[in-house]
Amino acid sequence: MTIRHLTATGVRNLAPVALDPSPRINLLYGCNGSGKTSFLEAIYFLALARSFRSARIQPMIQQDQEQVLAFARITTASGDELGIGVSRNRQADIQIRINGENIRSMAELARHLPVQLINPESFRLLEGAPKIRRQFLDWGVFHVEHSFMHWWQRLQHSLKQRNSLLRHAIIDDQSLQAWNLEFCAASEQIDQFRQDYIRRLKPVFTRTLSGLIDLPGLSLSYYRGWDKDKSLQQVLDDSIQRDRQLGHTQAGPQRADLRLRIGQQNVMDILSRGQQKLVVCALKIAQGHLLAESMGQQCVYLVDDLTAELDPTHRKALCCLLEQLDCQVFITGTDPDSLNHDWRKDTPVSMFHVEHGHIKESGVTE
Ligand SMILES: Nc1ncnc2c1ncn2[C@@H]1O[C@H](COP(=O)(O)OP(=O)(O)OP(=O)(O)O)[C@@H](O)[C@H]1O
């Protein structure tokens, strides 16, 4: 999908935004604090009704404003036009409208606007808690497997019920068995989705990474959250005493993880920050390729601070890969020269100058 027209009000230091971005490459430059990241935040907000900078919405709402509001006209992969509007106020109430109709499901919003963010915090995908890698994995599964949300909700519900039973002084065995059955059924389905996704992602990731950097021997593997040689039911039975002591379920898809290794070592223990960033870029770009291959859908890429951690050669390689993706990209940097790349003559490129919260188009190449 492509954003054709975008408006936003009440976003940090930004004056009301109204622009028609290029369907392909959009470059935004400006000084520190001018509002470049805030602009990317507005697009992210439109896709997910939240910020990527803070778990709370308040910091994103402009100091003297009551709400943040973003609207976009987008063209979907099938060529349909959609109007999407999202607003949140200081009480964090959310309003989502698609083609004028109120929508209650965040999943529906996210499905219309798949967004990938690459920013200086992206290394956390490798270094951070397993939850971040599960979110990465489930982003992919969610977009290619439409029944994922149904199974995900069953998984969350059964896990919550089981954990609540574990904390009772005396456990009702019948209830425990019933919730075990439901938890195992949902777990096996989610695990199957994740395995299928990783099997398809791996070759795309390897190919994408080789276009960015040479890291021989780097492997991506999936840990499902319980012993690969045992059924989950067996693992739950074996660990019931420990689960009761801890008051929660230790094994299951809520413990799944992705492992990136070179030989026996974790990549975050041996790669430089720049190398880590390139691995993360390859993972995220691979997800975009897979989404296009499987669903014919394009995601929007938000690349904040292109130059951070990357030398000119690797910046160029990243720009080439983003251009080959054939999707809409927004890239920020402090210096317009650092954003200049040998974009192909037939790639529409728009350049915007961000100054004290005002965004002005400063050049278009068709
Ligand atoms: N709620 C808010 N209301 C008004 N202004 C805010 C709010 N939150 C942050 N700001 C200000 O908005 C400005 C925009 O910051 P932003 O991170 O978008 O800049 P940037 O152009 O990405 O800078 P850098 O190049 O340093 O990353 C900052 O000066 C910040 O102090």
Give the global pTM.
Answer: 0.96
User: Is the CB of residue 333 below 6 angstroms from any atom belonging to ligand 1?
Assistant: no
Give residue 365's pLDDT band: very low, low, confident or very high (50, 70, 90): low
> How much distance in Å is there from the Cα of 60 to the middle of ligand 1?
9
Binding-site positions for ATP:
30-37
> How much distance in Å is there from the Cα of 34 to the middle of ligand 1?
6
> How much distance in Å is there from the Cα of 352 to the middle of ligand 1?
17
Give residue 364's pLDDT band: very low, low, confident or very high (50, 70, 90): low
User: Is the CB of residue 338 below 6 angstroms from any atom belonging to ligand 1?
Assistant: no
Q: What is the C-alpha separation between 131 and 194, in angstroms, rounded?
A: 14
Q: Are 70 and 42 in contact (CB under 8 A)?
A: yes
Closest-CA residue to 335 (of 28, 119, 121): 28
pLDDT digits (tens, 9 = 90+) for 13-32: 999 999 999 999 999 999 99
Q: What is the C-alpha separation between 153 and 243, in angstroms, rounded?
A: 22
> Residue 295: is it exposed, middle or buried by C-beta count within 10 angstroms (0-12/13-18/19+)?
middle
Sign of CA dihedral 196, 201, 204, 206: negative
Q: For 43, which DSSP code?
A: H
* Residue that is written with structure tokens 């408006």 in the block: 7
End-to-end CA distance of the chain: 19
Closest-lying ligand 1 atom to the alpha carbon of residue 60: 1
Helices (H), the chain: 36-48, 106-112, 124-127, 130-144, 148-166, 173-210, 232-238, 240-246, 267-270, 273-295, 312-324, 336-339
Domain ranges of the chain: 1-114+297-366
Look at ligand 1, atom 30, and give the residue with the nearest C-alpha. Answer: 33
User: Is the CB of residue 334 below 6 angstroms from any atom belonging to ligand 1?
Assistant: yes
Interface ipTM: 0.98
Rounded to 10 deg, the angle between the 173-210 and 130-144 helix axes is 80
* Residue that is written with structure tokens 């938000």 in the block: 302
SS3 363: strand
Tokens of 331: 């890239």
Tokens of 222: 């999936």
Question: Ligand 1, residues 12, 58, 67, 335: which to mutate, most atoms within 8 A of Cβ?
Answer: 12
Superfamily covering domain 1-114+297-366 = P-loop containing nucleotide triphosphate hydrolases (3.40.50.300)
Closest-lying ligand 1 atom to the alpha carbon of residue 41: 18
> How much distance in Å is there from the Cα of 20 to the middle of ligand 1?
22
pLDDT digits (tens, 9 = 90+) for 98-141: 999 999 989 999 999 999 999 999 999 999 999 999 999 999 99
> How much distance in Å is there from the Cα of 281 to the middle of ligand 1?
24
pLDDT digits (tens, 9 = 90+) for 309-342: 999 999 999 999 999 998 999 999 999 998 988 8
